Structure 1
Amino acid sequence: MPARRVVTGRSQQPRKRFAEELRLLRNARGESLRELSERLGWDASTLGKMESGTNLGSPEVVEALDSHYGTPGLLLALWEVAMGDNSQFREQYRRYMDLEAEALSLWHYAVSAPPGLLQTPAYAREALTAGGLLGEELDQQVEARMGRRKLLEGKGAPKFRAILSEAVLRTQLRAPQSRREQLEHLAEVSERPGITLHVLPFSAGPHPLMNTSMMFLRLPDARTVAYTENDVRGELIEEIGSVEELQHAYDSVRDLALSPAESQKFITRMLEEVPCEPST
């Protein structure tokens, strides 16, 4: 079979192709992002992120662009395909892991599960199993996650701060002993130099990060980048203005959280609620 001929020379990756088409259409109109923003009523930074591929936007803004460019349904179809493409997110996660390895300090906010750097083997195995992993692949992923914990050990380890939603501590595991081991591990690491844990109690009420796990990395070149994650995907964010906005949200959540000392006591109380494994 002859090799497939490249017709347009444009990207074959859905997310990149969508962003590329947006740039081409705007450039063909001779419009700046600012002019496009004024005509559509959408923020120029949102449109810019869509054209760079860092943000896909919403169907509403895509429909507005289709109407503006006279491409009824074309951009929306490309957007739907791009939304189903996970290759970009896998690549962003790999880049996040590379940056994490060189970070000078890390700040986390955890919605419902302990950060991977703080998970015990039993917790990681149950969480990954719930995500559909089995057999050899499961074993490999648990081992990889446990290997990451070494990042917080030894001389030169980055400073680490995590805000844990109360849901992190209250989530039940199939084996009560596994949950107990996880809580004991959190209590132990909270006493280590360089590691600071806060608990955000349910009583704190609504806040800006209710549905998003958040990680900030301060890098050797003085930059700070962010990585947001939910059940569907993650996104690496490096644009300065966007990172600052997320930092403001993180700071407001930290203001609602318990102090490190109060958090240690909270975790200890949670431990008292978990039955010990019966002696044999």
Structure 2
Amino acid sequence: MPQRRVVTGRSHEPRARFAEELRLLRAGKGGSLRDVADRLGWDASTLGKMESGRSLGSPELVEALDQHYGTSGMLLALWELAVGDPTQFKEQYRRYMVLETEAHSLWHFGVSTVHGLLQSDGYARELLALGGAKGEELDQQVEARTGRRQLLEEEDAPVFRAVLAEAVLRTPLRDAGAWREQLEHLLEVAQWPNVTIQVLPQDAGMHGLVSSDVMFLKLLGGRTVVYLENALRGELVEEINSVERLHRAYDAMRDLALNPGESRKFILRMLEEVPCEPST
């Protein structure tokens, strides 16, 4: 078993500590990410995300790494601390966050707010502040939230389709400048090759997903799970029949949405309505 390192202040940042340990263990043993991936039968890009701190991986993969490096459960213990890190995300999001980084395709419907992967800094700050966070805690939560955007910018970024209810675009921030930045960010991201943004107009009427934000995560191996969220809680749905029923509702709702070109024009109209900041 490799020699244990001295515990440092980095232990107060479990996610970063876990990623660092993975890098040090591989450096000590020698070999590339591809070598480890081939040895364990896992994807090298997944291991790379874990070593950079962008993904925590699955417990099965961490157990395999524990055996590979001969760390006798130490990596799994660090993983459990990282997954449960209260400075990152609340309990209800933890497993979802792991799956989000592993998905190769993400399909979302936002009924009331912009999804975290699409949020600008100002939007994230105002939304998180409504939950009671302030000061240093708020700064940490904003950094964690906006850091998720990197998922869509990577070389192997997942395909992401977001359908935004019109209400999302008609609920501005208190800060007109920050709201303008958010709308501009949506227009920019919509041009990325892996991202599609559509708007569901209010006059589309009722549909099967009218009361919940929904995210479909299509995982390697063909499995799809769904994350449902309302103002009170989030729920991960994995039962096949329930997933299929929600998928049908999503498809029917998406058929009512504006196409990407029309959606871009809609967001541009919303942007034109934002008051210009007064000159100083």
Give the TM-score range, shorter chain: 0.5 to 0.7
Structure 1 position 90, deviation (Å): 5.3
- Give SS of 1:177's match: helix
Q: Tell me which residue corresponds to 2:127.
A: 127
Q: Deviations over 1:69-109 (max 9, x none)?
A: xxxxxxxxxxxxxxxxxxxx955521110010111010000
- Taking the aligned partners of 1:276 and 1:159, their CA distance within structure 2 comes to 34
Q: Tell me which residue corresponds to 2:144.
A: 144
Q: Deviations over 1:219-272 (max 9, x none)?
A: 012101000000000000111111000001111110110000100010001111
Native 8 Å contact 1:163 1:254 kept in 2: yes
Native 8 Å contact 1:93 1:236 kept in 2: no
* 1:36-47 correspondence to structure 2 within 5 Å: none
Q: Tell me which residue corresponds to 1:208.
A: 208
Q: Tell me which residue corresponds to 1:26.
A: none
Q: Tell me which residue corresponds to 2:86.
A: none
Q: Tell me which residue corresponds to 1:273.
A: 273
* Aligned-residue identity in percent: 65
Q: Tell me which residue corresponds to 1:183.
A: 183
Native 8 Å contact 2:163 2:197 kept in 1: yes
| TM-score, scaled relative to structure 2 | 0.67
Native 8 Å contact 1:229 1:235 kept in 2: yes
Change (3 A) 1:120 1:90: closer
Native 8 Å contact 1:227 1:237 kept in 2: yes
Change (3 A) 1:218 1:198: same
Change (3 A) 1:195 1:235: same
Structure 1 position 208, deviation (Å): 1.1
Q: Deviations over 1:177-201 (max 9, x none)?
A: 1111111101111111110001001
| TM-score, scaled relative to structure 1 | 0.67
Q: Which moved more, 1:127-136 or 1:190-199?
A: 127-136
Structure 1 position 154, deviation (Å): 2.4
- Taking the aligned partners of 2:119 and 2:279, their CA distance within structure 1 comes to 25
Corresponding letter in the other structure for 2:126: E
Corresponding letter in the other structure for 2:128: L
- Give SS of 1:225's match: strand
Q: Tell me which residue corresponds to 1:24.
A: none
Q: Tell me which residue corresponds to 2:95.
A: 95
Corresponding letter in the other structure for 1:246: L
- Taking the aligned partners of 1:217 and 1:126, their CA distance within structure 2 comes to 27
RMSD: 1.3
- Give SS of 1:228's match: strand
Corresponding letter in the other structure for 1:147: G
Q: Answer with 1 or 2: which has the greater Rg.
A: 1
Unaligned runs of 5+ in 2: 1-88
- Taking the aligned partners of 1:205 and 1:278, their CA distance within structure 2 comes to 38
Structure 1 position 276, deviation (Å): 2.1
Q: Tell me which residue corresponds to 1:48.
A: none
Runs of 4+ in 1 over 3 A off after TM superposition: 89-92
Native 8 Å contact 2:92 2:233 kept in 1: no
* 1:158-173 correspondence to structure 2 within 5 Å: 158-173=158-173
Change (3 A) 1:268 1:97: same
